[in-house]
Structure formats: C-alpha cells, structure tokens
A and B are shown apart, each in its own frame.
Chain A
Amino acid sequence: MKRQELIVSALDHGTVIDHIPCDRLFEVINLLHLDQMTSKVTIGFNLKSSKMGTKSIIKIADRFFTDEELNQLSVVAPNVTLVIIRDYEVVEKRPVSLPDELHGIVHCDNPKCITNNEPMQTFFHVTDKQHGVIRCHYCNHEQDIRKVKLV
C-alpha cells in the first residue's frame, strides 16, 4: 500500500501550534527561537487545510508558552490554534487571537513618536481586530498589524 500521509509521532508533553499561515511560519520559528531548542520539534509546511487551503504546523515537545510569548505570536500570526498536551491528552485547545492591548511587543512606525526616542515600553490599542488595525497609545498613529516590526 502506498503511504499517503506523513506519520508524526504523538507528543506526550508539549505544545502544538496549528493553522499557521505558510507565509508566517519562519517568522514564528524565529520569534519562538525554535532553532535554539534542544527538545524535539516537528515542523510541517504547506500542508493541506480545509479551512485555509494550505497551512503550517509546529509541534514542540516539553515546552509551554507564557502569555507574553503568545501575545507576540498573535501579532506575527493572528488566529493560530494552540493545543497544549500533557500525558498524551489534549488539556487545552484554543485560538490565539490578538489581545485588546499590546505592551512592549511592536515598534511604532512614527519616527516622531516619543516611544522611539525615550527608553520606554510601547503601548498599542487594538482598534480593529478583524482588519488588524492597531493605534499607538502615545502618538495615535495607526498601523496595519501585518506590517509591524517587533520590538
């Protein structure tokens, strides 16, 4: 019988990040510093998805993410699905969506903004989650979340 699918061993402990847009996969890898990990990491790229057409997926053994890391992840790849596995059981499965506020995560693209000239944390309000619009708390400039630079 011809094998049609890639078989990946199940995780006993760890995190699966599913529904990553393919054009964001390598940004997610960089953001989570997966290249420096010593535990087992499985990366699937250009996989078929009924929801998205194609998608990417990452399985990371023995690693769980903080809220801060997930907030960063939501900026780079909005609407991914996070699955947390303990003892081969899915203990949590939820979409990672943009929070209402982003603290210290992205740069303001306005060079005249105080945040680019003072040693301080940036602060954005997410004004339109659907279209990914964020507004700087300080200078009021709006930015497209797809074009932001991370701090």
Chain B
Amino acid sequence: MPLRGKDSELWHIFAQGLADNATLYHRQTTFEMNRSLVTIADHSREKIEYLIRMAQEFERRPNRLILQGRIVATLFFEPSTRTRLSFETAANRLGARVIGFADPKVTSGTKGETLKDTIMMVSNYADVIVMRHYLEGAARYASEIAPVPIINAGDGANQHPSQTMLDLYTIYQTQGTLDNLNIYMVGDLKYGRTVHSLLMAMRHFNPTFHFIAPDELAMPTLYKDYCRQWGIKYVEHKDFDADVIAGADILYMTRVQRERFTDLMEYERVKDRYLLKLDMLSKARDNMRILHPLPRVNEIEYSIDDDPHAYYFQQARNGLYARQAIICDALGISLEDIQNDPTIIK
C-alpha cells in the first residue's frame, strides 16, 4: 500500500536521513582512503615539510593522549621487530590501544585466507592499519580496499615510507634544511630499499647524490634514469676514503650482505672496502652526520659511535616521532590539533 500524508512525510525524512548518512559515510571512507601512506613518492615537498613540523612537535612533547579511544592495528605478515616496536611505541605514547600480530604463523593467512579478507575483517575493529607484508604492492592493494587508512610498514622490496620519513626528519634535524645537500650513499645501493626511497623523496630538494658501491651492488639504472628525469645531480665513486667523504653533508651507510653476491670471491674482495673507519673522518665537514637504517653488522667501526659525526642511534629514535606524525596524519589529526593539544602529559 502506498504511503500517504504524514506517513509519506516521515518516510521521506527517514529516507533522506539514510541518504545523508550514506553520503557522509562515503565521504568519510573516501577521505580516509586518501589518507593512507603507501609510498613516499606520493608526497609533495609541502606534505613532507608538514610531516616534519609534526614530528618536531612530537619530539618536544612525545607523551600525549591525543589518540585516546583509538585503536591502531599492526599487522606484520612478515616479522620485523624493530619497525613494529617503533610503530607500537608511537601509538602507545599517544594513548592509542594497539591490536595485531607480530608473527604471520598465527593468522588465517596460513589457512588460505586472502589478504583482502584479513584487511576487511581488521577494518571492522581498528581505526588505522599499519601493515608489513612480504609481497610487493600489498599495501597499495590494501589501501584500495580498506575503509580505514593503511600505513605501509614495508612491502617486500618495494617501499618502506616510514623509514624514509624518519631519514628525512633526521637529515632536516642535523642540517637545518633539506635543500641543496650533498648526500653520499654507501654500500648496497642495488637492493637497498631505503636508499631508493630516500632518493625519490629528495627530488623536491635539489640534492647532489654520490653513489659509492661495488659493481655488483651499484645503483640500478632505473634510479639513475629517475635522477636524470628529475634533474637530480649524481656522481659515482669507486673509492671510499677521507678525500671522498670530505664533501659530504650526509653519509648514508648501508649493509653489504654476503647473500646478495653471486660470486663469493667478489664479496670477500669488496666487503672491507666499504667499511667506515675512524681515520676516514679526518677531513669530514663539521656538519656531516653518519646515518644507517640499522641493523649494522660491521660496516661502521664501533670506535666511530662516540664521534660527533655518528648519528645512527638518534636517527633510530627519530623513527618514533616520524611514526607518531604518520599515524596522526592518517587519522586526520592536523598539525594545528597537535600544536593546540590539551592532552599533553608533562
């Protein structure tokens, strides 16, 4: 029977309410989907600088309750203790609760559940999902299907944007700027995901890169083409000594891993050539800082740890502030909210 009079009016109001809610939900989900962090290459110069300002606020006041009542899920389909602890500490220091898994063996993925099903299920519980996955493109796919924002904590050999964000923050912190710097990258430049992401993110800031690596682990052509495409200057070196280091503002060391070499004789020949020793810093600029994504094995002599140029442990601590900024940004919390935050714990 068709509705008449008041019934019809009420029905119209009810239906309009549903439509408004649907529109609101659509706006919210669309908005949140766009807040995912999948790759640093998506970020403009302004966005990077904005996140750096947020991280500065968290460095000054890291303990707050701004995320009280929020739930952060950390889904580690591939174990990574360091990254997981950093994200969980970031969430906990802001008052959020954390759910998730650190070991993929405990998930239904081992029973054949798809990534989509896991992500959709967790989206019902959490406000934001931090995920690490062994498959490349997993975070991009998750960000397209999830109704909550996704933060990529590493997807195979593809992207690791929170590491890049903390590297950028550290460079800014030590140099006072990201512009016009001489950045020296040393070690495994072929497989090193961190150096590739850093290279792409720095395209906004007119850097000069210096690549120092054995032939087997040289910077891939793809990234050298990228430099040419964006007008980024780069120089390749074979030697690694005090004279080469003398021009550096940032010395970004990476681990040369034995398993990367097809020819083990080649590994034995080059493994000590890319070791940083204390006497190699004799001509270094005062502002030069040594960074390393860690873990370090033997590529930086331990005696360097006490040298003022060493900065890798502070760099790791910056991961906390950078990730606090990344989580808040994904949840739609602005720099202004953080600056005027009444929940700071003194």
Contact = CB atoms under 8 A, between A and B. Distances in A.
Contacts of B19: none
A120 interface: yes
Interface residues of A, number: 16
A112 to B, nearest CB: 5
A117 B135 contact: yes
Contact of A119 (B114, B155, B156, B157): B114
Contacts of A114: 115, 133, 135-138, 140-141, 155
A136 B137 contact: yes
B137 A113 contact: yes
Interface in B136-184: 136-138, 140-141, 155-158
Interface stretch (A48-56, A70-78, A89-97, A137-145): A137-145
B154 to A, nearest CB: 13
A112 B134 contact: yes
Interface string B108-129: 0000001110000000000000
A138 B115 contact: no
Interface of B, secondary structure class, is: mixed
Contact of B158 (A115, A117, A139): A139
Contacts of B136: 110, 112-114, 138-141
A47 B210 CA distance: 54
B114 A115 contact: no
Contacts of A87: none
B241 to A, nearest CB: 35
A50 B138 CA distance: 48
B116 A139 contact: no
A140 B141 CA distance: 12
Given A112-B134, A112-B135, A120 B141 contact: yes
A114 B137 CA distance: 6
Contacts of B140: 114, 137-138
Given A112-B156, A112-B157, A139 B114 contact: no
A112 B158 CA distance: 10
Contacts of B138: 114, 138
Contacts of A110: 136
A119 to B, nearest CB: 6
B134 A118 contact: no
Contacts of B156: 112, 139
A110 B136 CA distance: 9
Contacts of B157: 112
Contacts of B155: 114
Contacts of B141: 114-115, 118, 120, 138
B135 A140 contact: no
Interface in A97-139: 110, 112-115, 117-120, 136-139
A7 B116 CA distance: 56
Interface of A: 110, 112-115, 117-120, 136-142
By Cβ-Cβ distance, the 5 closest A-B pairs, closest first, are: A138-B137, A139-B136, A139-B137, A114-B137, A114-B135
